[in-house]
Amino acid sequence: MKSFKIGRWTITVPMLAAGLVVIFLAATVGSVKYSESPTFCNSCHIMAPYYKAWKDSKHNKVACVECHYPPADKQTLLWKKFQAMSQVAKYVTRTYSSKPFAEVEDASCLRSGCHSTRLLEGRVVAKTGIHFDHRPHLTEKRRGRQLRCVSCHSQVMVGSHIEVTYDACYLCHFKGQGTGRDLKPIAGCTGCHQVPKKAFNVGGATYRHSEFVNRGVTCQSCHRDVVRGEGAAPRDRCVTCHNTPETLKVYDNVAELHEKHVTAKNIACIHCHQEIRHGFADTGGRLPSIKGESVPAPAVQAAAMRVPQDISNHQPTPTFECGLCHKDKHAGEIDFYSGRVKALGLPEIPSPMFLARVDCSGCHYQKEAGQKSADGRSEVNFVAGDQACVRCHGPKFEGMWGSVRSEVLKTEAALAAKAAETAKAIDAMPEAGRAKPKATLAQAQKVLGFIGKKRAEHNVYLASVALRRVDADLDAAAAQAGGKVADLSEHPLISGSYCAVLCHQKAGVKVPAETVKHKGKVMPHSMHADLMGCAKCHELGAHRKAPLKKGIEQVCAGCHP
């Protein structure tokens, strides 16, 4: 038998052969082990984004093969190994696809030591506050589809690899379930969300969601900007994976498509469907008006309402969906409701209900047959009324909307008559001096005309400021013309006493104290309010905001020199 002498050692041929076999086996085992490591996966540059997604996720302690190789018999594992090695061969020969795809079986997720007890947990609450139960979603068909773990847990999402992709939830719960006031999400809003327990403050008043929910007020009455997009699956997306006419022919067979893609191939919904967004629109400006929450800044939100939005570009969408039925008919009403009428020189005073995101349908929910449309069909209008106040605020508000509207119309009529008197006084003066009072009168008429188109009741606070300004302008124009016009200071909307007269007495709000202290002096408050109204001394604007006017001492000095 041949042998080799190496130093003190004598090596025979069988020994050398055995040594080579050991080295080969060790190298093979080492290579196999290395090929199962995430570092090996990352050695191919096309895997870089997938490796980063895994590295930045909560699953970064779990090797790739733990998920991509499901627990199975040796034959299946060998087949998986062969597939993996074929991918390596394709990478070396540069015949690989630029869009690699790997499946994650449910068995990988539900194996012992991972999420084997997930189906036994029952209804759980996610960190986002969403209520969810895995069992019915995985063991029963949902909307006729058999879901898999990766239907909701995206395989590639940087920072959350194999974590919940809520886009899939939104597609299932909202797609085809109506829009606007007719939105009826699967399981309803409270199927996923609890009714918020935190109190929120709007316009100085504190409310709780349960107060409205218990009265039967739907979530859509206030929250109408929370679902955006239709979740369509355009044919164009099919060709990113398929390019044969025979394959594309099954595009209209929805059941077969879902069976092959969702159930058989574990393909996530978001690969085929366009996005449906759920949550408050990002308007870029917030007001800290709600305890623990935030409310859109009226200036920004009002701007969003008037600009057509492109959902595919992730732009803010309108809060108010009147445009679903009406085209370009209510811009003035929306401006007034949002308090954004700066073009008329008015201060920005949004309605408290606007700040609380109460949509148009919150009040306009009662159907009323309208006029015939151009094509002969009968239109349906959704009108507002006293019951809209009652269903949100309770029986104390019965008749309040009607009384406010009646007072608004009465004041507008009185101001229109006063404008006519002012115009006569201007016409009676020499023509050379008419320019200034005419301009003042025109400004008053412009504001009065704007709010006189059934807009004032959308925001009584801004309406009162506007009507007082109209009255002041008419007084100024008449004085410039040397004429005498009616004194309308007793009207609640002009005197500022509208809060107490129209609302507080009906709602049982405690009236201000008989006396108040100002700079150490006791003043008979109620007496002054009865004699002079509120607007003489206070800057009246938003709800429960009535600071004293600057230079109040001069106001007092007018009566108390």
Considering the domain architecture, whether residues 439 and 496 belong to the same structural domain is answered as yes
Span between the terminal Cα atoms of the chain, in Å: 134
Q: Is residue 549 part of a domain?
A: yes
For residue 489, is pLDDT > 60? yes
Q: Look at 349 and 308; give whichever has higher pLDDT.
A: 349
pLDDT at 346 over 80: yes
Residue 13 forms part of a structural domain: yes
Residue 159 lies in a domain: no
Domain boundary pick from 75, 105, 135: 105
* 424-432 contacts at long range (C-beta below 8 A, 24 or more positions apart): 424/483, 425/478, 425/481, 425/482, 425/483, 425/484, 425/485, 426/477, 426/481, 426/483, 428/481, 428/483, 429/481, 429/482, 429/483
Chain Cα centroid distance, residue 295: 10
Question: Which residues, listed in sequence order, are joined to residue 522 by a DSSP beta bridge?
Answer: 517
Q: Are residues 334 and 219 in the same domain?
A: yes
Check whether residue 519 and residue 471 sit in a common domain: no
Whether residues 518 and 542 share a domain: the answer is: yes
- Provide the pLDDT confidence category of residue 76 given band limits of 50, 70 and 90: low
Given a contact cutoff of 8 angstroms between Cβ atoms, the answer to whether 311 and 228 are in contact is yes
Count CB atoms within 10 A of the CB of residue 456: 24
Residues above pLDDT 70, as percent of the chain: 81
CB 528 within 8 A of CB 521: no
pLDDT class of 291 with cuts at 50, 70, 90: very low
Position 148 in a domain? no
The answer, yes or no, to whether residue 438 has pLDDT greater than 90, is yes
| CA distances for 15 relative to 2, 21, 23, 29, 89, angstroms | 11, 10, 12, 21, 34
pLDDT in tens, 97-142: 766 777 788 888 888 888 888 888 888 888 888 888 999 998 888 8
Same domain? For 387 and 436 the reply is no
Q: Which residue do the tokens 């009865």 mark?
A: 530
Same domain, 219 and 329: yes
pLDDT recorded at residue 73: 65
- Whether the pLDDT of residue 514 is over 50: the answer is yes
For residue 537, the enclosing domain spans 508-557
For residue 9 the two structure tokens come to: 């050692």
Whether pLDDT at 423 is above 90: yes
Based on the number of CB atoms within 10 Å of its own CB, is 561 exposed (0-12), middle (13-18) or buried (19 or more)?
exposed
**386 and 495 co-located in one domain:** no
User: Taking 90 as the threshold, does the pLDDT of residue 417 lie above it?
Assistant: yes
Is residue 45 packed enough to be buried (19+ CB in 10 Å), middle (13-18) or exposed (0-12)?
Answer: exposed
The verdict on 319 and 393 lying in the same domain is yes
Alpha carbons 91 and 98: distance in angstroms, whole number: 10
- What's the rounded mean pLDDT across residues 281-309? 36
Residues 331-343: b if buried by 16+ CB within 10 A, e if exposed? eebbbbbbbbbee
Residue 154 covered by a domain: no
SS3 208: coil
81: CATH: 1.10.3820.10
Q: Is residue 317 part of a domain?
A: yes
Say which residue, 443 or 552, is predicted with more confidence: 443
Q: Is residue 152 in a domain?
A: no
Distance CA 250, CA 46 (A): 31
Q: pTM score, two decimals?
A: 0.57
Same domain for 438 and 419: yes
Q: What is the pLDDT of residues 139-198, one digit of tens each?
A: 888 888 888 888 888 766 556 788 888 888 888 899 988 877 778 888 888 888 888 888
| The two structure tokens encoding residue 506 | 């009906």
Asked whether residue 492 falls in the same domain as residue 432, the answer is yes
Determine which of 22-36, 336-350, 383-397 has the lowest per-residue pLDDT on average.
22-36
Identify whether the C-beta of residue 133 lies closer than 8 Å to the C-beta of residue 122: yes
Of 63, 83, 105, the residue that ends a domain is 105
Predicted confidence at residue 428, as pLDDT, reads 92
| Residues 524 and 482 both lie in one domain | no
Domain total of the chain: 4
- pLDDT tens-place string over residues 245-286: 888 888 888 888 888 888 888 788 888 898 888 886 644 333
Res. 495 pLDDT band, cuts 50 70 90:
confident
Residue 160 located in a structural domain? no
Within this chain, do residues 80 and 53 fall inside the same structural domain, yes or no? Answer: yes
**Where does a domain end: 105, 137, 162?**
105
Comparing 28 with 543, the larger pLDDT belongs to: 543
Which pLDDT value is given to residue 548?
84
What value does the mean pLDDT take over residues 343-350?
86
Tell me the CA distances in angstroms from 67 to 38, 62, 108, 532, one per residue in order.
12, 8, 5, 78
